[in-house]
């Protein structure tokens, strides 16, 4: 009778993040890939702040696959990604990695906009703009007295 070996976990488990919060998870199969029945991918965030998904998501993947695509909701999240491979008699082996999701663009939150220094700077810009408009309206008009003087001088030349 042959020696029964425990399945080995996959190697080189890695996550490549795309800008839209999607992650491409890839791996190299274990040393005995023909004995793998299927893979199970389990991932979750370590906290539920910033829209992170703390509830575990589980995806079953065919044994011939070497990658999977998943969505990582939220920003500033740390996700744990665990890939478990099951052999033909139900034994398992797991590999695990972590990935940090950072915002791809600057996220402006309401509490950032309501900081006192931001409000004061914004108010100064608005007041400066209004002052410029008032000055333009006041000094941009032609004085009726000056216009009549200029018209009189033009008549004298003609």
Condensed to tens digits (0 to 9), the pLDDT of residues 88-120 reads 888 999 999 999 988 755 556 666 667 788 788
- CA-based diameter of the chain, in Å? 126
At 1 the pLDDT is 47
- Counting as low any pLDDT under 50, the low residues of the chain are 1
Pairing state between β 67-71 and 22-28: antiparallel
At 147 the pLDDT is 59
Identify any residues that bridge with 130 across adjacent strands, giving them in sequence order: none
At 60 the pLDDT is 96
At 114 the pLDDT is 73
Q: What is the pTM of this model?
A: 0.62
The tally of CA atoms less than 13 A away on the side-chain side of residue 19 is 3
At 106 the pLDDT is 58
At 105 the pLDDT is 59
> Does the CA dihedral 141-143-148-149 come out positive or negative?
negative
**How much of the chain is helix, strand and coil, in % rounded to 5?**
30, 35, 35
- The residue count for the chain: 158
Identify any residues that bridge with 11 across adjacent strands, giving them in sequence order: 28
How far is the C-alpha of 116 from the C-alpha of 143, rounded, in Å? 43
At 70 the pLDDT is 94
């Amino acid at each position: 009778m042959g020696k029964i070996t425990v399945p080995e976990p996959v190697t080189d488990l890695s996550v490549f993040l795309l800008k839209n919060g999607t992650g491409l998870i890839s791996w190299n199969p274990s040393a005995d890939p023909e004995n793998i029945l299927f893979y199970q991918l389990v991932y979750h965030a370590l906290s539920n702040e910033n829209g992170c998904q703390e509830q575990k998501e589980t995806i079953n993947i065919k044994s011939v696959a070497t990658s999977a695509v998943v969505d990582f909701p939220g920003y500033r999240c740390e996700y744990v990604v665990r890939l478990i491979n099951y052999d033909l008699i139900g034994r398992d082996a797991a590999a695990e990695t972590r990935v940090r999701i950072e915002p791809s663009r600057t996220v402006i939150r309401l509490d950032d906009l309501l900081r006192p220094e931001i409000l004061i700077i914004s108010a100064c810009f608005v007041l400066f703009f209004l002052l410029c408009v008032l000055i333009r309206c006041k000094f941009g008009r032609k004085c009726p007295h000056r216009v009549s003087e200029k018209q009189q001088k033009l008549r004298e030349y003609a």
